[in-house]
Amino acid sequence: GTCCSYRLRDALHPLWQSPLSIPGGTRQSPIDIQWRDSIFDPYLRPLKISYDPDTCLHIWNNGYSFLVEFEDSMDKSIIMGGPLENQYRLKQFHFHWGAINEWGSEHTIDSRVYPAELHLVHWNAVKYESFEEAVMEGNGLAVIGVFLKLGAYHEGLQKLVDALPAVKHKDEIVEFDTFDPSCLLPSCPDYWTYAGSLTTPPLTESVTWIIKKKAIEVDENQLEAFRMLLFTSPGEEEKRMVDNFRPLQPLMNRTVRSSFQ
């Protein structure tokens, strides 16, 4: 059946390290969020998001995903509230996706997999001097996760899709100006939150995850555009950039809180 091929696919996938390779990992990501086990926390505040489209710098293919990076020397694109004690600055956003629509997201909801997942990566500029420093600290990062599902064409995403051919190969970079990533967020304010980690090296346990309950819709052509990117550099044997997600990690001694009842 398909389920065992997923597990087998996870185990064999060359790209990701098994949990065994993270000594003492007690808060690794991604995880399966079991809706019924999540606990409504009435003290969770609404998440406040304020992005300045002029802080957008460029898109680049880093060989794992494509990242849109932001100028983060000032508090111009920030999030606060929700589960966060401080204000966090937007550093970059990127996606994880599958070779086919049957899988691709990192997190799952009651084992439901989505075709892709958006991650907006922010760092705690109140407590730390740089993103690099924050990556190593327990409260250093806050990542908003948004599921993508197959459906209607997404107007806001298309500007990004149109730029992808310019970063087809690893290490290619192209200027990208005036993009407001809040157009990629669902209007519903509901989210889950839990303490986790980065899902690619350095896999540091520095992330407060904020996973939006509602998915955004994108169409087949837009998902296919992600799949035409390459892991490989120009001149190398082409390897399509697909299945760039880490297998699910054990929940261990963690609680997932919800902002909604």
Ligand X SMILES: Clc1ccc(Cc2nnn[n-]2)cc1
Kindly state whether residue 107 participates in binding Zn ion, applying the rule CB under 5 A: no
120 binds ligand X (CB under 6 A): no
Give the Cα separation of 116 and 99 in Å (integer): 10
Q: Which of 95, 66, 60 is nearest to 173 (CA)?
A: 60
Helix axes 155-163, 220-227, angle to 10 degrees: 30
Interface residue with ligand X among 199, 206, 208, 259 (CB under 6 A) is 199
139 near ligand X, rule: CB under 6 A: no
User: Of these partners, Zn ion, ligand X, none, which one is at the site of residue 198 (CB under 5 to 8 Å by kind)?
Assistant: ligand X
Q: What is the smallest separation between the CB atom of 148 and Zn ion, expressed in angstroms?
A: 13
- Looking at the Cβ atoms of 193 and 200, the one nearer to ligand X is 200
Q: How far apart are the C-alpha atoms of 51 and 55, rounded to whole Å?
A: 8
Asked if residue 200 binds ligand X (CB under 6 A), the reply is yes
Among 33, 78, 84, 121, binds ligand X (CB under 6 A): 121
**CA dist., res. 260 & res. 188, Å (int):** 11
Q: Which is nearer to ligand X, 58 or 158 (CB)?
A: 58
Residue 89 CB: number of other CB atoms within 10 A?
A: 24
Query: Cα 91–247–188 angle (5° rounding)?
Result: 55
DSSP line for 208-261: EEEEESSPEEE-HHHHHHHHT-BSSPTTSPP-B-----PPP----S---EES--
Residue, CB closest to ligand X:
198
Regarding 143 and contact with ligand X (CB under 6 A), the answer is yes
C-alpha 65 chain-centroid distance: 10
Closer CB to ligand X, 134 or 216, in the complex = 134
Q: Is 119 in the site for Zn ion (CB under 5 A)?
A: yes
Question: Is 39 or 202 the residue whose CB approaches ligand X more closely?
Answer: 202
Give 119 or 170: the residue with its C-beta nearer to ligand X. 119
Name the site residues for Zn ion (rule: CB under 5 A).
119
Name the site residues for ligand X (rule: CB under 6 A).
119, 121, 135, 143, 198-200
